Amino acid sequence: MAPSIRLSPASRSLFDEPLAIAVQGLGPRQQVTLRASLRDETEQLFQASAHYQAGDDGELDLARCPALPGGSFSGLEPMGLLWALQPQKPFWRLVKRDVQSPFLLQLEVFEGHGERPGRLLAQTQHERAFLREGMRRVPVREGRIRATLFLPPGEDTVPGIIDIHGLGGGLSEHRASLLANHGFATLALAYYQFEDLPQKPNKLHLEYFEEAVNYMLQHPQVKGRGVGLLGFSKGGEVSLAMAAFLKNIMAVASLNGPVAATCIPFSYKDKTIPTLNYYEHKAKATNSKTVDYSDVLDDPFQAPGNQSLIPLEKAEAQFLFVVGQDDRIVKSEYYATEVCKLLQAQGKENFQILSYPGTGHCMDPPFFPLYSIGKHPFFHKQAVLGGEPRAHSKAQVHAWSQIQAFFKKYL
């Protein structure tokens, strides 16, 4: 029989779900190259390939067969063809803007292990979606709030979470949509550079975020007396500030977030938290094109940086700090460790740290490829973001399940 690719689920899966890939109908111990291709919404191409050898029965199951050296990865990596996807255009990030349409994944099997692909033996397409059947996407324009709410099907009440992205502005929906599939009402919240929100805010007013908390608490499908916050980078920092100053925040998961005000100060009523000073001359050039910015900020645990520290001892929430040990934008592991020491000294035990080796700054939901070099949102130069593809991918998978368990426990 002719070779064919067998996928499970067959034609469509959620982006954060594993995809089982197998090839049948090959010759005994036949050598083949598998290639995955995906185009983003700007038509930029991402590709990964791996060398394999079929079993004695002509079957090749990626869950049991290790990839041989010479491709984008080697070893037993059932999802390697997805996490190893690399852009053909350098420093390009895989981003999903319209979560209502899936990414189309193309899989091909070629003869042999040559530099150039051999004869095409089999091919298929698969949709990687962001919303389950029946999920609702509701644009929110209430008061000052500019956001998108994702609701699971049915009328049941579910825990409510506000998802806050990092510096860079706009409205980012990919993480909130995927999280909502797991049984949460998730609000993707914009806070600048979107519609009529400020383009370049000189302060972040926590009253705006308070409005979003109240919107969620009044929603008929949000259960409980409080909400959870999931923040990445600057969004993690915003989430911590919300927990320190606002009521009804039950649980905060911070992904590689600072623990002090950076770049834009916070204000709430008559209180302002100034930003850490930064010293661009402390940036290190790694080569002619990229810069390492990991040492440019004051230490928030030493004067004068400590005036920028967010007063987390005032918060009632539970904290989950998710940190990459190779984060080159935020010293996230150091920050989380030190801030938890301060909480402990106050007799608090409302925190846990998940720390991942080989993991960089841009932590996404599972199977997004590593983005290790990209434009710094503040300095606007190509910056080292950190991470090693295999370790980073494993961290994204593990952290995603832990984040869901954390919110289910405390909401």
Yes or no: say if 56 and 87 are a contact pair by the CB < 8 Å rule. no
Neighbours of 105 (CB within 10 A): 22
Residue carrying structure tokens 């008061």: 143
Neighbours of 263 (CB within 10 A): 15
Yes or no: say if 222 and 158 are a contact pair by the CB < 8 Å rule. yes
Yes or no: say if 40 and 46 are a contact pair by the CB < 8 Å rule. yes
Identity (one letter) of the amino acid at 364? D
Which residue in 233, 239, 294, 332 is the catalytic one? 233
Which residue in 16, 163, 326, 327 is the catalytic one? 327
Q: What angle do CA 120, 129, 83 make, to 5 degrees?
A: 60
Which residue in 182, 361, 376, 392 is the catalytic one? 361
Query: Residues with Cβ < 8 Å from 222, sequence gap 6 or more?
Result: 157, 158, 159, 160, 185, 216
Task: Please indicate whether residue 361 is annotated as part of the active site.
Answer: yes
Cα atoms found within 13 Å of the Cα of residue 181, Cβ hemisphere only:
20
Q: Provide the token pair at 234.
A: 């600057």
- In terms of DSSP bridges, do strands 20-24 and 60-61 run parallel, antiparallel, or are they unpaired? antiparallel
Yes or no: say if 330 and 299 are a contact pair by the CB < 8 Å rule. no
Structural element, H or E, at residue 218: helix 206-218
Q: Given strand 136-142, what is the order of strands in its sheet?
A: 136-142, 145-151, 185-189, 160-164, 227-232, 249-255, 318-324, 351-356
Yes or no: say if 250 and 317 are a contact pair by the CB < 8 Å rule. yes
Task: Please indicate whether residue 113 is annotated as part of the active site.
Answer: no
Yes or no: say if 310 and 237 are a contact pair by the CB < 8 Å rule. yes
Task: Please indicate whether residue 326 is annotated as part of the active site.
Answer: no
Number of residues assigned to the chain: 411
Nearest CA to 184 out of 214, 155, 222, 219 is that of: 222
| Phi and psi torsions of 400, nearest 5° | -60, -45
Yes or no: say if 274 and 308 are a contact pair by the CB < 8 Å rule. yes
For residues 170 and 150, what is the distance between their CA atoms, to the nearest angstrom? 17
Residues annotated as catalytic (active site), given as ranges: 233, 327, 361
